[in-house]
Amino acid sequence: MAINLQKGQKIDIGLSRLSVGLGWNPNEGTGAAFDLDASAFMINSSRLIPAEEYFIFYGNTDSPDGALHHTGDDPTGGNSAEGDDETIQVDLSRINDSIEEILFVVTIHEAAQRKQNFGQVRNSYIRIVDEATHTEVAKYELGEDFSIETAVEFGRLYKRNGSWKFEASGIGYKEDLAFFVSKYFTGQVIK
Amino acid sequence: MAINLVKGQTIDLRKNDKGEEFDLSQVTIGLGWDMRQQKSGGFFGKLLGGNKDADYDLDAIAFLLDANGKVASLGRTVQTSDGRQIGLYEGDVVFFNSQKHPSGHIWLTGDNRTGAGDGDDEQIIVRLNALDPKYDRIVFLVTIYQGRQKGQHFGMVENAFIRAVDARGKEIARFSMSGDAAFSNMCGMIFAEVYRKDGGWKFRALGNPESSDNFVEILRKYTYQ
């Protein structure tokens, strides 16, 4: 049984392996493909990614500590008819000690150029799944909750007293992935 | 594990138009810039101006790194026919004095010392799929030869760029050093790297400015001694 999240809702994650799944339906019309992206920022106590490799996205699918693995880019939503089109797998036991928080975001690639938002995309969601039992812990329906937005901060895993918790943030933005990267990365961003 | 925030890192958010991969069986690094306009003019300008009007001499350089991220072979020192001693000859650094790597799979097309000509003025070509497995990573950089001594930096050079092109001729990445505040007063840049991943090669744009005009100083970070 899935929990549809309230903003700011906190969930205890006793799980050692979980995954964040993003799913949507391909564009059945004549316009440009819907290219949704799931990404994760592994953030240290300075509120930054310690190195560029700790930003997990279509261009960097594995974190150096081996804790996060992105299954790869789906540029259309065609990977799976019913299930997740992009997945970020998390092994909490392997996370580098300096990482205090992992932030998950969803963005629409080139949303501005393609004049797209989540409201146009059918059956789009982001969810967190317990990999041990394959049960859904929490889920957002993007099209309903963020119809005019192009980016969503889904939620964050954070460490408290040695164990991990998940807090749903559910904040929509009319921004792109570079917006989030510039918050947690001080280097150069090529768009 | 200690991790440090490395300044000047780059994250590339671009995707290919059709989501297709670049063909990294071969990669070409192209470096281009415009010739210096001689403001003082002609023979007397050169005579009086000393180094002030010296040509801009940009160099493309490649470091071949082993699995430890180090340059394993620093080659040897040889004497040229005019009696000069040159180091790093036929080692794992490809540069103006050692233009062809001993493996034959990575080479510099020539040393352009003025920027004359359109398009790429210097190229480094790598047949990545033919490289010995002991080479795990290749770092590409550009420096202005004797830039400090000649009072030169990227901010002065017109239309300076460095780019990477895949085996099908498709451009993977391009940096413009001219007109970018980050490269003003800089004489070097670590442009990009290719590295082995999952049985293939990956390209990563870096674009890290370096104040040094001497790649040997930068090389020290990649040597065993």
pLDDT reported for residue B69: 94
Instruction: Look over chain B and give the mean of its residue pLDDT values, rounded to a whole number.
Output: 84
For residue A189, the chain B residue with the least C-alpha distance is: B11
Amino acid at site A61? T
Band (A88; pLDDT cuts 50, 70, 90): very high
Q: What is the arithmetic mean of pLDDT over B75-87?
A: 88
Most B-contacting residue of A46, A190, A191 (CB-CB within 10 A), to test interface: A190
Give the pLDDT confidence score for residue A3 in this predicted structure: 52
Region A47-65: what's the mean pLDDT? Answer: 93
Between B219 and B199, whose confidence is greater?
B219
Q: Do B19 and A73 touch (CB under 8 A)?
A: yes
Tell me if chain B has a CB within 8 Å of the CB of A185: yes
* CA angle (A121, A126, A132) in 5-degree steps: 145
Q: A180 — contact with chain B (CB < 8 Å)?
A: no
pLDDT at A1: 36
Q: What would the pLDDT profile of A114-152 be if each residue is shown by its tens digit?
A: 999 998 999 999 999 988 888 888 888 888 888 899 999
Residue in A closest to B6 by C-alpha: A51
Q: What pLDDT is stored for residue A4 in this prediction?
A: 59
Residue A14 has pLDDT above 70, yes or no: no
Q: Do A51 and B10 touch (CB under 8 A)?
A: no
Q: Do A186 and B19 touch (CB under 8 A)?
A: no
**Closest residue of chain B to A181, computed from CA coordinates:** B11
Q: What pLDDT is attached to residue A45?
A: 94
| pLDDT at residue B52, as a whole number | 63
* Count of other CB atoms within 10 angstroms of residue A177: 24
Q: Which residues contact B210 (CB under 8 A, 6 or more apart)?
A: B141, B143, B186, B187, B188, B189, B190, B218
Contact status of B1 with chain A (Cβ, < 8 Å): yes
Q: Residue A188 and residue B207: Cβ atoms within 8 Å?
A: yes
pLDDT bucket at A185, cuts 50 / 70 / 90: very high
Question: Given pLDDT bands bounded at 50, 70 and 90, which one contains residue A166?
Answer: confident
pLDDT of residue B27: 94
- What pLDDT does B80 receive? 83
Ranking A66-70, B45-49, B166-170, B213-217 by mean pLDDT, the lowest is B45-49
Question: By percentage, how much of chain A surpasses pLDDT 70?
Answer: 93
Predicted pLDDT of residue B49? 46
Closest CA to A121 of A37, A21, A2, A36: A36
Mean pLDDT of B199-209: 83
Structural Rg of chain B based on CA atoms: 18
Residue B9 has pLDDT above 70, yes or no: no
User: Residue A22's pLDDT is what?
Assistant: 95
Contacts of B46 (CB under 8 A, 6+ apart): B38, B40, B53
Candidates B1, B13, B195: best to mutate against A (most CBs of A within 10 A) is B13
Q: Please tell me the predicted confidence (pLDDT) of residue B121.
A: 93
Which of A98-112, B43-57, B89-103 shows the lowest per-residue confidence on average (mean pLDDT)?
Answer: B43-57
Distance between CA A99 and CA A54 in Å, rounded? Answer: 9
pLDDT at B20: 53
Q: Per mean pLDDT, which range of A36-45, A98-107, B159-168 is the poorest?
A: B159-168
pLDDT of residue A8: 65
pLDDT band at B6 (very low <50, low <70, confident <90, very high): very low
> What's the whole-number mean pLDDT along residues B44-71?
80
pLDDT class for B15, splitting at 50, 70, 90?
confident
Question: Given the DSSP bridges, would you call strands B10-12 and B76-79 parallel, antiparallel or unpaired?
Answer: unpaired
CB pairs under 8 A between A and B: 68
Which residues on A lie below 8 Å from B173 (Cβ)?
A: 190
B68 exposure class (CB count in 10 Å sphere: 0-12, 13-18, 19+): exposed
Kindly determine whether residue B7 and residue A46, on different chains, have CB atoms separated by under 8 Å: no
Q: State what percent of residues in chain B have pLDDT above 70.
A: 86
Percent of chain A with pLDDT over 90: 61
Task: Quote the CA–CA distance of A151 and A87 in Å, as a whole number.
Answer: 17
Global pTM value: 0.59
